[in-house]
Amino acid sequence: MAGKVKTRDRILQTSLALFNQEGEAQVSTVDIAAVMGISPGNLYYHFRGKEVIIEALFDDFEEEMRQVLSAPIKRPLDIEDNWIFVYILFEEINDFRFFYYGLASVLERCPNLRPRFARLLKLKQDTVDAILTALEKGGLITFGPGEQDALATRLAAHLTFWLQYRDLTAPAQSSRTIINDGVYSTMIQIAPYIAGDRAPYAALLTEYFKKQR
Amino acid sequence: MAGKVKTRDRILQTSLALFNQEGEAQVSTVDIAAVMGISPGNLYYHFRGKEVIIEALFDDFEEEMRQVLSAPIKRPLDIEDNWIFVYILFEEINDFRFFYYGLASVLERCPNLRPRFARLLKLKQDTVDAILTALEKGGLITFGPGEQDALATRLAAHLTFWLQYRDLTAPAQSSRTIINDGVYSTMIQIAPYIAGDRAPYAALLTEYFKKQR
């Protein structure tokens, strides 16, 4: 029984690595079995098709994202904590990046992931909104009418589409650079809402993230 | 000869309509021929496969986008003109929306569109950047270090991913609502950089776009 569980996990790990590396559409269950050195029949015994593997991987991803995203709602963060939080979010997304790079084709293959992906996006938005509310209550940032809602929406969209965007505009960069730039372009969006003079914050941010590259 | 040209155009129009309606992946050349009431052989005489149709549609889209995007670089716009400009951009994108909704799967099928799509994205970014420079020179907006570049990047990304984002978060809405909200969420991103008090601008914007819905 322990052996079975292990094979199942290995199939998921191998699939995730191959999907991330080559794109989900390029990888068949036969490829996965070949890389693992098991028979297609053995793989089929554990997962009856690629869709089932994709859905199992989404289960894992959803679980981890829910854990990460629930943290700041329970205990609001200050501005520096948010940097780290956004890093963790992007790292999580990067670990399951084939969902993001191939979003349209994954959702075509597994239409029942569509509402679940949408719920995850909504959860991102709610989390960002909660953080912004905490920052505004703390007097760190201020919003005009409609601005908080618009910012929460677009930060959630930014988290979702950043990888695709970078893949189009600057392909073949390291994960570290992509994540780093993703965090920077998240944080710089908050800068203009900072109460008082925002220039020192923007300068600090730009300086800090340049050093990371 | 005139007859041939006409059939070619009709194939493109029908394909575009079907791709937009049902998603490119769901529509075969046999479907297109059937909707038009011509034989698959006749269609094949004009286009040797779906890839060729997709690329011909991209030629049209690219041509129109280049025209739209070159306008404000030649003659800078004021803030109100920009609303109209962003409307036109979103309408153009909406006319060829299957490229955006199914981006990953279109680029998988036609990999040679990838650099062309990237160039178009770069052109969007340059145009936005030129507009922001003009607005800053005119004293209408001000930027801290790194902010203009970051805003141009994310407005270009916003134009590219807005349709996918809305499709995930609020499916089955009318094109008019999606475009309208897309323009609003573009303009509200410029609000915080407005020189002096931005609240009246944000309020005006929110009021105006609520009325449109």
Domain ranges of chain B: 1-48, 54-212
List Cα–Cα distances, A39 to A45, A51, B16, B45, in angstroms.
Answer: 10, 18, 43, 44
Token duo for residue A164: 């695709």
Amino acid B213: pLDDT: 60
Amino acid A134: pLDDT: 86
Which residues in chain B have their CB less than 8 angstroms from residue A122's CB? 169
List Cα–Cα distances, A210 to A118, A178, A204, A206, B26, in angstroms.
Answer: 33, 13, 10, 6, 44
Is A182:A88 a contact under the CB 8 Å cutoff? Answer: no
pLDDT of A122 strictly over 80: yes
Mean pLDDT check: name the lowest of A23-27, A121-125, A160-164, A208-212: A208-212
For the residues B135-151, what does the mean pLDDT come to?
A: 86
Nearest CA in chain B to A149: B185
For the residues A182-190, what does the mean pLDDT come to?
A: 88
pLDDT of A202 strictly over 90: no
The answer to whether the predicted template modeling score (pTM) of the entire model surpasses 0.90 is no
Of residues B193 and B37, more confidence is placed in B37
Nearest to B168 among A117, A164, A203 (CB): A117
Amino acid B85: pLDDT: 86
Cα–chain center distance at A116: 14
State the residue for tokens 């999907």. Answer: A19
Amino acid A12: pLDDT: 96
Is A113:A54 a contact under the CB 8 Å cutoff? Answer: yes
Looking at every residue in chain A, the average pLDDT score rounds to 87
Mean pLDDT check: name the lowest of A8-17, B3-12, B117-126, B200-209: B200-209
Which residues in chain B have their CB less than 8 angstroms from residue A206's CB? 145-146
Per-residue pLDDT band for A209 (boundaries 50, 70, 90) equals confident
Q: What is the percent of chain B where pLDDT is above 70?
A: 92
For the residues A101-119, what does the mean pLDDT come to?
A: 91
Architecture of domain B54-212: Orthogonal Bundle (1.10)
Mutation target to probe the A interface, by most A beta carbons within 10 A, among B143, B188, B213 is B188
Amino acid B167: pLDDT: 87
For the residues A10-25, what does the mean pLDDT come to?
A: 95
Which residues in chain A have their CB less than 8 angstroms from residue B169's CB? 118, 121-122
pLDDT of B64 strictly over 70: yes
Amino acid A70: pLDDT: 84
Q: What is the DSSP letter of B101?
A: H
The string over B178-210, giving b where at least 16 C-beta atoms fall within 10 Å of a residue's C-beta and e elsewhere, is bbbbbbbbbbbbbbbbbeeebeebbeebbeebe
> Packing angle between helix B175-190 and helix A147-169, nearest 10 degrees?
100
Q: Do B205 and A146 touch (CB under 8 A)?
A: yes
For the residues B148-175, what does the mean pLDDT come to?
A: 89
Using the Cα atoms of residue B22, residue A168, residue B13 and residue B177 in order, give the sign of their dihedral.
Answer: positive
For the residues A127-135, what does the mean pLDDT come to?
A: 89
Write down the CATH number for the domain with range A1-48. Answer: 1.10.10.60
CATH fold of the domain at A51-212: Tetracycline Repressor; domain 2 (1.10.357)
Amino acid A145: pLDDT: 82
* Interatomic CA distance for residues B35 and A75, integer angstroms: 57
Number of helices followed by number of strands (H, E) in chain A? 11, 0
Which residues in chain B have their CB less than 8 angstroms from residue A145's CB? 199, 202-203, 206
pLDDT tens string A57-96: 999 999 999 998 887 655 555 666 777 888 999 999 999 9
Per-residue pLDDT band for B204 (boundaries 50, 70, 90) equals confident
Looking at every residue in chain B, the average pLDDT score rounds to 87
Nearest CA in chain B to A198: B144
Amino acid B212: pLDDT: 65
pLDDT of B172 strictly over 90: no
